[in-house]
Structure 1
């Protein structure tokens, strides 16, 4: 039987054990991660935490809805031997109080019998030696790494998250116009992960020892996730980001099984990540629309359950 639980009713210890031991174990679904990115989250729980699904909600104009929180690429249903029938069973048990939902499930929640949109993640299985992996790099990736070495780019490993956030904010972030909430939540999340021993930053320094690019990596349960990055114009000119990725991949080889680029549905970013020999993994985007007319028409068709 599936139960709907409010946040204060969830046994976080049992929850985390289920997520950590699930067929698709990802840090985004751990209770302490959700507490930062989606405080007050609720859940669907099968039996004694055999299978679980986080629900992140808000309300607008008196209508409750479910949404995908920041810094959670994939959520959905977690447990053992999750099949399509189980995923649909959970989706059908979402309480009726939630009239609308837009959610990203995970790569083990594929709905092949249903007309849903699949999004793309890119991962790199880490096996063999670094030279074997480098053979799968594109010509452009190899060229950029050489360019960075010729420019005397060096690596700094530590925790430079605020500098990396500023690099992003002043460069790519300037056109994306992210909210202050985005940056505040990212900083809070990064420091929490660092406190728990799961986060490290890797920064590229130029010849003047200035940080020109940086990447925040989460290491959790045999998976290294590229959660966030920032770079300035100089870094783009001298291949600093390619240099960083190569250094991180080299370090993680033998220490973890998967390097997760965490994206991307942006064609340019996807091309960049694939240039390091990554492979595509799909995960479903699900919309459930039970809004009253005319709002239902404005939001688009939902999954018919």
Structure 2
């Protein structure tokens, strides 16, 4: 017998109970915890099956009097989180989404398997590296370009050390981001700063900077502790950082740190071919998840969200 899926609107969610439900699921993601949703998707709601047997966070926005679901900037995956990994409730949850919201553009997660005959699905690619071996064994999987850039950064005297100046790192990213990612608005950068500051304070984010021999910050990488994963959450790079291979050295330093832990290094994926090559260069393998679009908006509004 199918358990009821109930809708919990914004303002009616017990944060402590919600986080306990997320933590108890087999495919839990820290992105689905209230600390992320409160900052990146204020006004979020949820769908809950049974007593937390499966849950789905809903990033809700409203425009022209219509409530719709969106994928928050800087959050790669959400989707349906389930206690029992052997049972997939994806289509049941998407049916409830479709009946509740006229428009949705959301990313599910790697354990969700939507029916492509019923929903408009786009396959997205993430890159994962199992940290179940020694660093020396993991490094054997690096490609020649990755090895060359690590050695280059080391030879040029790039120095790595902890760095907690969030505003400086976000500013470096935004210098390129405003050109490369025009849809990222000032409010998104402000929210990112809040999450980074909270993560550094609470210990679920570690930020490391790469410095030139003269002591200038030229690149930075923020790693997110996500249950059984270490996630490449956010990075910033300057022209000098790119020229010296600083980001290669930063990623390699975290792989050294986490090697043998049995966890997974999650590169967070990218639709950018250059970034995909960079991630694959460390020996990572591809993992697919779905981006879902549901459009039941009336004509001609439906064309604007097409």
Q: Name the TM-score, length of structure 1 as normaliser.
A: 0.93
Match in the other structure for 1:8? 11
Match in the other structure for 1:104? 107
The Cα of 1:80 is off from its aligned counterpart by 2.1
CA offsets 1:35-81 (integer angstroms, 9 cap, x no match): 11111101111111111111111111112211111221100111123
The Cα of 1:86 is off from its aligned counterpart by 1.1
Aligned partner (choices 48, 51, 74) of residue 48 of structure 1: 51
Match in the other structure for 1:129? 134
Aligned partner (choices 67, 72, 87) of residue 69 of structure 1: 72
CA offsets 1:252-303 (integer angstroms, 9 cap, x no match): 1234601111111111101111101111111111111111122334534xxx
- Alpha-carbon distance between aligned partners in 2 of 1:22 and 1:54, rounded to the nearest angstrom: 13
Any stretches of 5+ residues in structure 2 without a counterpart?
none
Is residue 2:181 matched to residue 1:176?
yes
- Alpha-carbon distance between aligned partners in 2 of 1:84 and 1:91, rounded to the nearest angstrom: 15
Instruction: Show the 5 A alignment for 1:19-168.
Output: 19-82=22-85, 86-94=89-97, 96-111=99-114, 114=117, 116-168=121-173
- Alpha-carbon distance between aligned partners in 2 of 1:95 and 1:266, rounded to the nearest angstrom: 30
Is residue 2:215 matched to residue 1:209?
yes
Q: Could you tell which deviates more after superposition, 128-137 or 73-82? A: 73-82
- Alpha-carbon distance between aligned partners in 1 of 2:93 and 2:200, rounded to the nearest angstrom: 33
The Cα of 1:119 is off from its aligned counterpart by 0.5
Structure 1 counterpart SS, 2:192: helix
The Cα of 1:206 is off from its aligned counterpart by 1.0
Task: Note if contact 2:135-2:260 (Cα within 8 Å) is conserved in structure 1.
Answer: no
- Alpha-carbon distance between aligned partners in 2 of 1:117 and 1:95, rounded to the nearest angstrom: 17
Task: Note if contact 1:160-1:203 (Cα within 8 Å) is conserved in structure 2.
Answer: no
Task: Note if contact 2:108-2:292 (Cα within 8 Å) is conserved in structure 1.
Answer: yes
Structure 2 counterpart SS, 1:94: helix
In the alignment of these two chains, the number of paired residues is 300
Task: Note if contact 2:98-2:294 (Cα within 8 Å) is conserved in structure 1.
Answer: no
How big is the alpha-carbon RMSD for the aligned residues of Structure 1 and Structure 2?
1.8
The Cα of 1:101 is off from its aligned counterpart by 0.5
Structure 2 counterpart SS, 1:8: coil
Task: Note if contact 2:108-2:291 (Cα within 8 Å) is conserved in structure 1.
Answer: yes
Match in the other structure for 1:303? none
Any stretches of 5+ residues in structure 1 without a counterpart?
301-305
Match in the other structure for 1:264? 270
Match in the other structure for 1:218? 224
Q: Name the TM-score, length of structure 2 as normaliser.
A: 0.92
